[in-house]
Amino acid sequence: MKDKIYVSTRNSSETASASEAVTRGLAPDGGLYVPTFIDDVRFDLNALKDLSYPELAKAVLSEFLDFTPEQIDACIEGAYQSGRFDIDSLVRTVPTSFGGILELHHGPTAAFKDMALTILPFLMTTAAKNCGEDRNIAILTATSGDTGKAALEGFKDVPGTKILVYYPKDGVSPVQEAQMNTTGGANTRVIGVDGNFDDTQTGVKQIFGDTALADSISQAGWTFSSANSINIGRLLPQIVYYFYSYFDLVRQGRIELGDLVNFSVPTGNFGDILAGYYAKLTGLPVNRLICASNSNNVLTDFFESGQYDRNRDFYRTISPSMDILISSNLERLLFDKLGRDSESVVQLMDRLSEEGVYSADRGLFPEFYAGFADEAETKAVIRRVYDTEAELIDPHTAVAEKVREDYAAQTEDATPTIVLSTASPYKFARPVYEAVFGDAPFGTDDFEIQDSLYDGTHRVIPEPLTGLRDKEIRHSGVCAPDGMADAAAAFLTEE
Ligand SMILES: *Cc1c(COP(=O)(O)O)cnc(C)c1O
């Protein structure tokens, strides 16, 4: 086994240890860290198949991190064994006619982001210690809704850290906004940005590239890092549930160990599905990874034509966590598929930032299928799954299910397929209610609709979402995209 060395997608000689990669978030040259050693990692399915989720997480993370076994145990215990999930198994795969629905939303904020963001603060503080970083860590996060709350809960009151979340002011659901703006903790701040998610994410990346700002906050004892999926420490924990769900299907007698499965993944920033790709690279028998988008279908076009073109209308949809036109983690896939040649990646990323367009050979991605669902299709699927599988799914999950159906119809591939369910339907109660019951009564707010949805379906409202409306609003700041850096500087220098 070689050393666990990571390189930047934009400069192959820009190397970092695992601990350095997790501490920094983004590489100094603006690239994303990727493991150089992934071809040497090969998980033994037989050895892993009966492990609990925390045990499996230990097996997976040990291969990718330079932590001691005791350090890994402590991270896993803090995140996964401290009673923060509402089911003992942490995740579960509900059997369906086509394979299963993998529920990833049983954590403290009722979204799949919890799978990684409950553990990231432990990984980051451990990594910082390992590489002798003695400055405090300022987490900057751009969110399309779910990352923000999950990161706030993860880093809230963690010593030696502050967390600042930026969200597109009119681009998240009312429940998501209430979840974020009611967050307590002495080290948290939430700011609405007058722009969309791409403006917000670009603003955060610019702050990371601002060396003058980095110097001035460093003098005040701070260094920036990221809780977005550009941080490899966000991605690695997500590999675990692909394996876990596969073993669920084995346990359910649906497949034999070694059989192929497909995964259908509701995709925004391409982090979740990239973790599935890493699972495949490291030995999980995956046939196809189905990349499901909403009307912001830049990835569908990319996988079909090879051309990535962000110059298009931006839609606000009922699956807002996927309202993204610049999918950051695609850069990691490109790096892998272009022979791990950073110069080719730089050329494409320069074209993306200058012209908004680049092209790659569409034949490079045989293990991916891509499709999208519009708003009406998404709602129709929520209704159909409720009627036929008795499952109440959220709009993001519905997008993945719709594209799975299209894939099955188009290819006649009968491989069992696991649809990733990424959020509780109660986070998006209005569209879910409307899908199942028709128009919501005039004048009702989103919290009243949660109650109506409960009355109609008797599905339990997750604990983190109850009582939100009565909580005190603690954050209400707003800034323009070009005011984001000043807001960060102010937050870090105040007492
Ligand atoms: C973040 C998110 C997604 C998209 O995941 P990516 O890793 O950004 O592709 C899908 N669904 C929900 C509910 C999310 O919060």
Which protein residue's CA is at the shortest distance from atom 15 of ligand 1? Answer: 146
Q: How far is the CA of 372 from the centre of ligand 1 (A)?
A: 14
| Measured distance between the N- and C-terminal CA atoms of the chain, rounded to whole angstroms | 46
Check if 272 has its Cβ closer than 6 Å to any atom of ligand 1.
yes
pTM of the model: 0.95
CB of 377 within 6 A of ligand 1: the answer is no
Q: Is the CB of 271 under 6 A from ligand 1?
A: yes
Mutate to test the pocket of ligand 1, among 141, 146, 327 (most ligand atoms within 8 A of CB): 146
Q: Are strands 11-17 and 5-8 parallel, antiparallel or unpaired?
A: antiparallel
Q: How far is the CA of 229 from the centre of ligand 1 (A)?
A: 10
426 alpha carbon to ligand 1 midpoint, in Å?
16
Supply the residue whose CA is at minimum distance from atom 2 of ligand 1: 321
φ, ψ of residue 53 in degrees (nearest 5): -60, -45
Burial degree of 50 (CB within 10 A; 0-12, 13-18, 19+): exposed
Atom 8 in ligand 1: which residue has the minimum CA distance? 269
* 257 Cβ neighbours under 8 A, 6+ residues apart: 45, 46, 49, 250
Instruction: Check pocket membership of 277 for ligand 1, CB cut-off 6 A.
Output: no
Dihedral pair phi/psi, residue 173, rounded to 5°: -75, 155
Shortest-distance atom of ligand 1 to CA 275: 7
Residue 242, token pair as written in the block: 């692909």
Catalytic (active-site) positions: 113
Question: Do 54 and 76 contact (CB within 8 A), yes or no?
Answer: yes
Positive/negative CA dihedral, 210, 189, 272, 369: negative
Binding site membership of 321 for ligand 1 (Cβ less than 6 Å) = yes
Query: What is the set of domains in the chain, with CATH numbers?
Result: 92-110+236-463 (3.40.50.1100)
Burial 348-387 (b: 16+ CB within 10 A, else e): bbeebeeeeebebeeeebeebbbbbbebebbbebbbebbe
Is residue 114 in contact with ligand 1, taking CB distance under 6 Å? no
Nearest atom in ligand 1 to 427's CA:
13
The gap from C-alpha 128 to its chain's centroid, in whole angstroms, comes to: 22
Can you point out the beta strands (E) in 267-388? 286-293, 307-309, 357-359, 368-372
Each of the 495 residues of the chain gets a pLDDT tens digit; together they read: 447 999 999 998 889 999 999 999 999 898 999 999 999 999 999 999 999 999 999 999 999 999 999 999 999 999 999 999 999 999 999 999 999 999 999 999 999 999 999 999 999 999 999 999 999 999 999 998 889 999 999 999 999 999 999 999 988 888 899 999 999 999 999 999 999 988 998 999 899 989 999 999 999 999 999 898 899 999 999 999 999 999 999 999 999 999 999 999 999 999 999 999 999 999 999 999 999 999 999 999 999 999 999 999 999 999 999 999 999 999 999 999 999 999 999 999 999 999 999 999 999 999 999 999 999 999 999 999 999 989 999 999 999 999 999 999 999 999 999 999 999 999 999 999 999 999 887 788 889 999 999 999 999 999 889 888 889 999 999 999 999 999 999 999 886
Do 168 and 324 touch, CB atoms closer than 8 A? Answer: no
User: Contact 419/105 with Cβ under 8 angstroms?
Assistant: no
pLDDT at 193: 97
pLDDT the model gives residue 495: 67
Please tell me the predicted confidence (pLDDT) of residue 1: 43
Pocket test for ligand 1, best of 200, 317, 322, 419 (most atoms within 8 A of CB): 322
How far is the centre of ligand 1, averaged over its atoms, from the C-alpha of 442 (Å)?
Answer: 30
Is the C-beta atom of 229 inside 6 A of ligand 1?
A: yes
Atom of ligand 1 nearest to the CA of 270: 9
In angstroms, the Cα distances linking 393 to 303, 411, 454 are 26, 25, 13
Whether residue 285 contacts residue 246, with contact meaning beta carbons closer than 8 Å, is answered with: yes
pLDDT given at position 12: 86
The CB of 274 under 6 Å from ligand 1? The reply is no
